[in-house]
Structure 1
Amino acid sequence: MPGIGKPSANCAPRSGVWQGLPIHKSGGDGKGAAIWDTKTYGNPGAYAVMQEDGNVVVYGKDGGQGKGGAIWHSDTWR
């Protein structure tokens, strides 16, 4: 599918600054505008994980599965 990046089990910001897990509209040059995000910016060290149950979760810096600290989730678990 054009404009969709390669999926990854874990996501962390390239710049070192969490930007809210945005989805960008493809402009053909890879610089499309953000069309959606988790609105979780301002959480240094946050990271996203697709868990084995299918739920995508954004955890704070010290959070994680079994530790708590989720700041957003997709509610798509099965």
Structure 2
Amino acid sequence: MKARVTIMLKDGVLDPQGEAIRHALAGLGHKGVGGVRQGKVIELDLGEGDKAAAEAEVTRMCEGLLANTVIEKYSIEII
């Protein structure tokens, strides 16, 4: 079983890397981009066979290490 975790900055948290990407896109002629939010995706290979238990375990991973829950939000997809 695999899990995909998507981590993004929370709304209202400044995203300087996203702004740098937006600025670079504008410099390349892509003027229609109003905003960019940059994040990360983590894929995990899990030994757990039960979907609910796997999701609970990945939630603990996110809360303990993978995401800074003060400024980041995350979503989990069991695949």
* TM-score, length basis structure 2: 0.24
Q: Which has the higher helix share?
A: 2
Larger radius of gyration: 2
* TM-score, length basis structure 1: 0.24
